[in-house]
Amino acid sequence: MKTLHGLYKKLGRDRFLEVAKNYSDHVQSSVEKTLNEMEGRWFDKEHTITEAEKMVSDYNKGRLRGYDDVIHRTSAAMKMEAFA
C-alpha cells in the first residue's frame, strides 16, 4: 500500500474511520477531512513520520492497530444476527 487514500479504499469507509482512531485524535465524520488531518499531522515528537505514513507503514508490515479488533467485532455481530 502506498497511500492512506489507497488504504481507505481497501478497508472501506466505516472500517477505515474506526481503525484511524488508533492513529489520530483528529478523525472526522468525513473520510476526506480525516485524510487531510492525518496527512498534515506528525505522529511522533521528532517529526519524522505523519499519522498517515505511520498507518500505511503498519498496514504494510501487517501490524495495523485495531484492525483485528474491528474484524472480530463485525464478525461476531454478523454471527449473532444469523442466529436471530
What confidence score (pLDDT) does residue 84 get?
A: 52
Per-residue pLDDT tens digits for 24-33: 999 999 999 9
Predicted pLDDT of residue 67: 77
CA atoms of 17 and 26, how far apart (whole Å):
11
Kindly state the cell numbers that stand for 74: 463485525
Instruction: Give the whole-angstrom CA distance, residue 64 versus residue 56.
Output: 8
pTM above 0.85, yes or no: no
